[in-house]
Structure formats: C-alpha cells, structure tokens
C-alpha cells in the first residue's frame, strides 16, 4: 500500500489464504446448488403443469359427452359455435407453416369412439359430434406445432449462451390484460383443458420468439475493421492495462450507425467518457450502447428495428479518432458482443426458417 510516499506491505499467511480460498469455494458450491435447485423446481413445476393438463384433457369421456348431448343438445351446439369462432379467428393470424395438412392428434382413437357413441345414442347429434372431433384434432395439432416451434427457438437461444427460462420469466412480468373469454364444456363452467394447454404452448412460443428479436444480429457499423476488441488492452491515453467493455469500429465521421436488434431507445445524450451516446433496451435484460457519435438519428422512446440508422460515427468523449464504441449488456453486466454478431445471424436464421433482417435506412 502506497501512502504519502511510503510503501507498506501486508503479509497474508498461507494458512489464512487457504481458509479464504476454502470459504470462497464453499460459497460458490452453495450458490451453484441453490441455482440448480431453483432450476429443477421450476422445471418440475412446468412439467407437472403440462402433465396435469394432459390428464385433464381426457376427463371428458365418451359416456360423459353422450350425457352432455342428451341433457342439453342446444347448449352443446352453442359451445361448439363459440369454439369454432375462436378457432377461425386464430387461423387468420397463424404463420404459413402452421397451415399444413399434417394430422397430429393425441386422442384420435378416443374422439372417434366418442363420435361413434354419440351418433349411436343420439343420431340427431352426429353432425355436432363430428364438428367437435375436428375442433379437438385441430387444437391438438396446433399445440404440437407451437411446442415444436418454441423448442426450436429455445435451442437457438441456448446456442447463443442465453437461458430460455429467463426470457419466460421476463415475459410473465410484462403488462397484459383484457376480458376473460372462457371456452366451456357443456354447462360446467370449466375451461376446456385442451384449449388451456394450447394457450400455454402459444404463450411460450410467443415469449421466446419475441426474445429472439432483441438479440444483437446486425453489425452496428458498415466497416470491416474492429480496431479494439472486448477485454484487457493497453489504454490509448495512459498506456496502462485497462478493461475495454466493448468493440471499437473505426470509420469516417458521419458514417451511419445501425441498431443491432429490435428494441426501444431509452437514452440519447452525453455520458462521461462515452461522449454522445444512444442506448437501446431490447427486453429480457439486454441493452446495447453506441458511443462517440457525431450526431443522433434516434429519439428517446422510439421503437427501432434491427438495422435502423440511429446516428453517425464521430469522436466525441474519450476518443483518439472517429470510431463507434459498441457495448452489449445483460442485466447491466457487460459481455463480449462479438460472439453474438458473428453467430446470431445464422442461428436466428435457422430458428426462424428465413433470412436475417436487412438494414433499414
């Protein structure tokens, strides 16, 4: 320790060092066990939820459906009309790859048996029973489609080192609302579990795919050279070793700077050391920072797409020449942006099934 021109030394015995190291290891082990326990609990809870819904989906047996038709065929018809309207409204919003002739059903045999029993017991209800069977088959097919697409997205996130469960928790905290529209079975007042299971699958798919849009996937500057990488380097002003928390893209003053991903502009202004800065929040804890700008082309509160021009390269702040300093932060912790910029376009293309977004002027 240097104080008033004098240098003092503090000696730590090897015994004390070993104790400190042992405590640090124990703390890390305890943290890892806690995190693993939380992850396992969350996984089991989700698995139990899906298992419960799957069991509930088989509660309405053939005998129960015959009873429902016999007790009040008009009520059953009304419910089927409501469900059909729900399905037709949903179909209009489906992507093209969901509208296939693929026949996937969890309970084809059971629904066929139900149609046969209803038709034999109540011939005038045969047409309604067939409509109900087609509805159930469609809902189960769409559920499988949503699960398959969500898993494909989750695998892409894992390849980029991100946790899909974190994105799901972030989606649960988003503001949402609206009137409750229940899809009943007869007059029991219960939500049809097959539709509830579909709702869970679609919600997971939507949350994960929304998370994809916020991943840096477009190079923030149209320059080939990165003059300074993420990590320790020799500081250009002091010459001493220092940490560099981003990538530096050298380019002419006035060259366009692009948003690396879809998000909302949450800061436009000056920051010490960074000069003129734009920050974009992408959701799920992701934020990108663009520094040393010569001018701004974005305003606070603006929603931008990947590739939208948000400013121009400059040399404001602590800078030795015109360049863009680009940072990626996850939960306010800086991470190396290079793996995302290099891998994300191909990974996301595979997850989406089409090419990465083009830059917009």
| Whether residue 145 sits in one domain with residue 82 | yes
Q: What is the rounded distance in angstroms from the CA atom of residue 83 to the CA atom of residue 271?
A: 55
154 plus 235 within the same structural domain: no
Q: How many domains does the chain have?
A: 2
Instruction: State the DSSP string of 63-87.
Output: HHHHHHHHH-HHHHHHHHHHHHHHH
Same domain for 232 and 206: no
- Average pLDDT score, the chain: 77
Question: In this structure, are strands 241-244 and 293-296 parallel, antiparallel, or unpaired?
Answer: unpaired
Helices first, then strands: H and E counts in the chain: 8, 15
What's the whole-number mean pLDDT along residues 334-343?
A: 86
> Quick check: is 144 in a domain?
yes
Residues 177-222 have pLDDT tens digits of 444 455 544 445 566 777 778 878 888 888 888 888 888 888 999 8
- Is residue 34 assigned to a domain? no
pLDDT tens, residue by residue, 298-309: 999 999 999 999
pTM of the predicted model as reported, rounded to 2 decimal places? 0.63
Tokens of 34: 């806690």
Calpha distance 10→251 (Å, rounded): 48
Q: In terms of residue numbers, what domain contains 327?
A: 226-352
Same domain, 62 and 208: yes
Mean pLDDT of 233-255: 87
So what's the pLDDT on residue 42?
56
255 is a domain residue: yes
Q: Assign 314 to helix, strand or coil.
A: strand
Do 200 and 283 have their domain in common? no
Q: How far apart are alpha carbons 35 and 29 in whole angstroms?
A: 10
CATH number at residue 233: 2.70.70.10
Q: pLDDT tens-digit profile of 121-155?
A: 788 878 888 888 888 888 888 888 888 888 888 88
Query: What 3-state DSSP class applies to 124?
Result: helix
Judge if 166 and 205 occupy the same domain: yes
Vertex 103 angle, CA 94 and 125, to 5° = 95
User: Going by C-beta distance under 8 Å and a sequence separation of 6 or more, which residues neighbour residue 249?
Assistant: 219, 220, 221, 223, 225, 226, 227, 313, 323, 324, 326
């Amino acid at each position: 320790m240097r104080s008033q021109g004098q240098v003092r030394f503090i000696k730590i015995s090897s015994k004390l060092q070993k104790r400190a190291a042992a405590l640090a290891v124990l703390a890390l082990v305890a943290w890892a066990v806690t995190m693993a326990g939380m992850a396992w609990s969350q996984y089991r809870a989700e698995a139990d939820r899906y298992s419960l819904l799957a069991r509930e989906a088989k509660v309405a047996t053939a005998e129960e459906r015959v009873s429902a038709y016999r007790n009040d065929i008009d009520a059953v018809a009304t419910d089927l009309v409501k469900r059909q309207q729900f399905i037709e409204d949903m179909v209009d919003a489906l992507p093209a790859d969901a509208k296939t002739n693929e026949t996937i059903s969890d309970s084809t045999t059971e629904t066929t048996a139900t149609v046969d029993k209803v038709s034999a017991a109540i011939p005038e209800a045969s047409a309604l029973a067939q409509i109900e069977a087609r509805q159930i088959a469609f809902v189960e097919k769409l559920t499988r489609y949503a699960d398959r697409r969500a898993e494909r997205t989750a695998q892409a996130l894992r390849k980029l080192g991100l946790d899909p469960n974190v994105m799901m928790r972030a989606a649960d905290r988003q503001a949402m609302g609206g009137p409750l529209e229940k899809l009943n079975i007869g007059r029991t007042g219960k939500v049809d579990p097959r539709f509830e299971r579909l709702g869970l699958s679609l919600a997971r798919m939507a949350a994960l795919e929304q998370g994809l849009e916020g991943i840096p996937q477009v190079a923030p500057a149209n320059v080939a050279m990165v003059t300074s990488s993420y990590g320790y380097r020799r500081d250009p002003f002091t010459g001493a070793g220092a940490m560099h928390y981003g990538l530096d893209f050298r380019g002419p003053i006035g060259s366009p700077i692009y948003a690396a991903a879809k998000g909302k502009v949450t800061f436009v202004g000056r920051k010490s050391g960074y000069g003129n800065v734009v920050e974009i929040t992408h959701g799920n804890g992701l934020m990108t920072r663009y520094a040393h700008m010569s001018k701004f082309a974005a305003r606070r509160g603006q929603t931008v797409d990947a590739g939208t021009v948000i400013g121009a390269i400059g040399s404001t702040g602590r800078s030795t020449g015109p360049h863009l300093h680009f940072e990626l932060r996850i939960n306010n912790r800086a991470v190396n942006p290079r793996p995302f910029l290099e891998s994300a376009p191909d990974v996301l293309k595979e997850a989406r099934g089409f090419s990465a977004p083009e830059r917009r002027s």
